[in-house]
Every structure is written in structure tokens, then in C-alpha cells.
């Protein structure tokens, strides 16, 4: 049924090993033979069986993607489509295909990664999130398996290769931007607190306040799950304070949508009564009302670079030494902070 290397060999009058070498485009095969074999492959419609190949040469040409568990609704964030697009592009350029974990719970995801790695299904793994106490990263590290994290890992980050935005810097810049616009009462709405992004961005926010001589008020710092609903809750809490803020740094465009929609319901105008700045510059940032001022972090680039590092790591046999790549960011000014509204 399946056309095998033997069939091609017979058709082309060579040994199977020769066909194999033609597939690998070995320089030790004459041009004529190559042509003859290739013609036979075309005629017969030959495609190599990937499993036979993987089994024999102990490589899979596949990359595993570790998504956050589907239980947390994090996955709904368009962030992921976009990183995957970056990963996919680079992977395709280098002839790698993509494997995804399918677990719903955290435990299932972990099990998926283990069997992916131990079962030799992939040559390397990219982890699409970064969280405290994550078993997956620990496991990958212990197995000495090639992997890269998108986001800044916690444990032992000096030995882990990762690709990230300088979220600390971005948080700082954005806060200073609001201060420059004249705001003194600046709040911070962050996502899940065990995520690295959240911690970095809030860290930058605090530093900026200190540098500007504004006291840090813990009641101004609220956190909520990463999605839009979280944003809504957060706002209500902030607006019920004795001295509500006049500006808010929101850790993610999705949450910012929730924030603005809640403000809208409460009759609080953006940017006039409340300035909003956020991160990621998802495509929806452009189409919210008012359009969001947001930090462009080049999500595609994060995925692309991560894959680049991973492939490097796969190709060197050396133990991964913990490379870090920082993808540049910049602020895209739209209307949600006021200021120059015709950006």
C-alpha cells in the first residue's frame, strides 16, 4: 500500500541505502543517480515515513508547544495566536513541524510534556508562559532537554534560555509617560500574580513612582485574572477608594478592554476622567473606543526568536547555557491617555 524506499530503489535500480542518501541529499551520490532516483520518487509518489525516519536517526524535526492549561481562560488571549504565528514561521523555515500539548488541567499538561519528551516525539520544546513553581520547566531542566521559555523564567533563570520583553522597563516607561501627562494618582491593574509578566510590569511601575517621588499606595495596585472580566472587577475596587486614581496602567489589552467598558458603564470618560495605558498592542487595541495607547511588544517576534534559539540549541550538542534575548518594545500612542489624539 504505502510506497516505500524499497519500491523507489527497485524502480531506480539502486539500493535502498542510495535512495536514503538521495533524500538526505548526500554529496556522495552522483548527480545522475540523484536525478534517476528523484524521478522514481516522483513517479511513484513517494513520501518518506516520518516515523521510520525518526526511529532510525533519532530526530523528529518537530517542536513541542506547551500552552497554559486550557482551564485557565488565558488561551483566549489573542497573544497566543500571534506567538504561534511567529513560532510557526520560523519552524517552517527550518523544516520543523509543530506539536501541541492538549491538557486541560495543569497536571494533564505536565503529563503531556513528559510523554512528549520521553516518548521522543519532539526535538525541543517552547514553553509559552512563565509562572512561579512550574513543574514543566523544572522537568525540562532536569531532563537536559532542549527548551526555550517565552517570558522570564523564575527558577535558576541563568541556566534557562528565554525570550522576553523588558517588561520591567516597559512598566517604568509607561508609568512615567502618565506622570508626564500630569497624573499623580496612578493605579496599576495586573494579571495573575504568579505570572512573571505581572511581577515585572508592576515592578517597573513602582520604580517609576519612586523615581518621580510619588508614594506607592498598595490600594492602587490591584490584580485580577488576565481576562476582561478581571479588568472590570479591578476598576470597581479602584473607583470605590476614597481617592480614586486619575490614570491606570493595565497589564494587558484584554484587561484594558474590560477596564474601559466598566468605566464606560460607570459614566467615567476615557481619557478625560481616566487615562488608560496598557501592554501588548493587540489588534483590538486599535479598534476599541477610544483606541488604546499600548506598548507594542512584537509578539510575533517573541515566537520567532524563541524558535530560533531553540533550533540553535537543538543543533549544538552542548548543554544549553542560558541565553536570553530581549525583543524591543515601544509605546504606540492612541487616544486612551489623551495627549496627541491624532497619532
Residue ranges binding a copy of itself (CB under 8 A): 2, 45, 47-52, 54-55, 60, 70, 75-78, 80-82, 84-85, 88-89, 91-92, 96-104, 108, 112, 114-116, 118-121, 227-228, 257-258, 260-261, 264, 283-284, 286-289, 291
Nearer to a copy of itself, 200 or 253 (CB): 253
Least distance in angstroms from the C-beta of 95 to DNA: 13
Partner from DNA, a copy of itself, none contacting 295, C-beta within 5 to 8 A by type: none
Find which of DNA, a copy of itself, none residue 28 binds, CB within 5 to 8 Å per kind: DNA
Q: Which is nearer to a copy of itself, 118 or 193 (CB)?
A: 118
Q: How far is the CB of 101 from DNA (least distance, A)?
A: 21
Counted residue by residue, the chain has a size of 343
Residues that bind DNA (CB under 7 A): 1-6, 13-21, 23-24, 27-30, 32-33, 46-49, 52-53, 55-58
Choosing among a copy of itself, DNA, none, which partner's interface includes residue 32 (Cβ < 5 to 8 Å by kind)? DNA
Nearest to a copy of itself of 118, 132 (CB atom):
118
Smallest distance, a copy of itself to C-beta of residue 109, A: 10
C-beta closer to DNA: residue 115 or 341: 115
78 binds, among a copy of itself, DNA, none (CB under 5 to 8 A by kind): a copy of itself
Residue 30, binding choice from DNA, a copy of itself, none, Cβ under 5 to 8 Å by partner class: DNA
Residue labelled with grid coordinates 458603564: 265
Query: Distance of alpha carbon 329 from its chain centroid, rounded?
Result: 14
Residue 16, binding choice from DNA, a copy of itself, none, Cβ under 5 to 8 Å by partner class:
DNA
Three cell numbers written together for 60: 523528529
Instruction: Pick the closer one to a copy of itself by CB: 78 or 244.
Output: 78
Q: How far is the C-alpha of 239 from the C-alpha of 81, rounded, in Å?
A: 33
Minimal distance, residue 41 CB to DNA, in Å: 10
Between strands 293-296 and 330-332, the pairing is antiparallel
Please provide the distance, in angstroms rounded to a whole number, between the alpha carbons at the two ends of the chain: 62
Q: Which does 20 bind (CB under 5 to 8 A by kind): DNA, a copy of itself, none?
A: DNA
Amino acid at each position: 500500500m504505502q510506497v516505500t524506499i524499497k519500491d523507489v530503489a527497485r524502480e531506480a535500480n539502486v539500493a535502498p541505502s542510495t535512495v536514503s542518501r538521495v533524500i538526505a541529499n548526500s554529496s556522495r551520490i552522483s548527480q545522475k543517480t540523484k536525478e534517476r532516483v528523484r524521478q522514481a520518487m516522483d513517479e511513484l509518489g513517494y513520501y518518506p515515513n516520518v516515523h521510520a525516519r525518526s526511529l532510525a536517526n533519532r530526530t523528529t524535526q518537530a517542536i513541542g508547544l506547551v500552552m497554559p492549561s486550557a482551564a485557565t481562560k488565558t488561551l483566549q488571549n489573542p497573544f497566543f495566536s500571534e506567538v504561534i504565528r511567529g513560532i510557526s514561521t520560523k519552524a517552517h523555515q527550518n523544516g520543523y513541524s509543530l506539536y501541541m500539548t492538549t491538557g486541560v488541567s495543569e497536571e494533564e499538561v505536565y503529563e503531556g510534556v513528559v510523554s512528549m519528551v520521553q516518548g521522543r516525539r519532539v526535538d525541543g520544546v517552547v514553553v509559552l508562559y512563565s509562572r512561579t513553581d512550574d513543574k514543566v520547566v523544572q522537568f525540562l531542566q532536569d531532563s537536559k532537554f532542549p527548551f526555550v521559555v517565552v517570558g522570564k523564567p523564575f527558577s535558576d533563570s541563568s541556566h534557562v534560555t528565554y525570550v522576553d520583553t523588558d517588561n520591567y522597563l516597559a512598566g517604568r516607561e509607561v508609568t512615567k509617560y502618565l506622570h508626564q501627562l500630569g497624573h499623580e494618582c496612578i493605579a496599576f491593574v495586573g494579571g495573575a500574580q504568579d505570572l512573571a509578566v505581572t511581577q515585572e510590569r508592576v515592578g517597573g511601575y513602582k520604580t517609576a513612582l519612586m523615581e518621580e517621588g510619588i508614594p506607592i499606595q498598595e490600594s492602587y495596585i490591584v490584580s485580577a485574572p488576565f481576562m476582561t472580566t478581571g479588568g472590570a472587577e479591578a476598576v470597581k475596587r479602584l473607583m470605590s477608594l476614597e481617592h480614586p486614581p486619575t490614570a491606570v496602567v493595565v497589564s494587558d489589552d484584554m484587561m484594558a478592554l474590560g477596564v474601559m467598558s466598566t468605566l464606560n458603564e460607570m459614566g467615567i470618560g476615557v481619557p478625560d476622567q481616566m487615562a488608560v495605558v496598557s501592554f501588548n498592542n493587540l489588534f483590538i487595541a486599535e479598534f476599541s473606543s477610544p483606541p488604546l495607547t499600548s506598548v507594542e511588544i512584537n509578539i510575533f517576534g517573541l515566537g520567532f526568536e524563541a524558535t530560533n534559539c531553540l533550533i540553535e540549541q537543538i543543533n549544538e550538542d552542548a548543554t544549553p547555557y542560558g541565553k536570553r534575548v530581549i525583543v524591543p518594545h515601544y509605546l504606540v500612542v492612541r487616544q486612551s491617555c489623551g495627549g496627541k489624539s491624532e497619532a
